[in-house]
Amino acid sequence: MLYCANDGAVMTSWRKDQKCNGDDSIINFYADPTSNFTNAAGKLMMDHPGPISVGLINRCKRFLLYIDDGIVKYSVTAEDVDFDPAGDDFPEKVLPTQVIAVLRNLIKIQ
């Protein structure tokens, strides 16, 4: 699942751009334009004054959750509160290379 605090039109376009729009795709794209999930999940709302001052309101931080049977097994947020609160300059924590390594260890995949 891919979640973003964007509207449905943006998520539909992103899904097509990433070639995940076929029925055989295992990736689902979800929009949360009112940030209901972000607020409910706790500590994922981008509330740093820097991004807010340039109009990034009701946005989520760049994060990844691995959820198994409704339980969060792994959580990581790409942010540097003092330098990059949005996680745009240092997204490595949530990119596939690092995440796959962590998940392989977590769920014991060889």
Q: Give CA separation, 47 vs 43, 79, 85, 88, in Å.
A: 9, 12, 9, 15
What SS3 class is residue 80?
Answer: strand
Largest CA distance in the chain: 45
Kindly calculate the radius of gyration of the chain based on its CA atoms and give it in whole angstroms. 15
Domain ranges of the chain: 34-107
pLDDT of 3-19, one tens digit each? 777 788 888 898 899 89
Q: Where are the alpha helices (DSSP H) in 26-95?
A: 36-41, 49-53
pLDDT value of position 13: 92
Q: Give the C-alpha separation, 43 to 20, whole Å.
A: 29
pLDDT of 52-99, one tens digit each? 788 777 778 888 888 888 898 898 888 887 777 777 787 888 888 888
pLDDT value of position 51: 77
Cα–chain center distance at 52: 18
pLDDT of 15-38, one tens digit each? 899 898 888 888 888 888 888 888
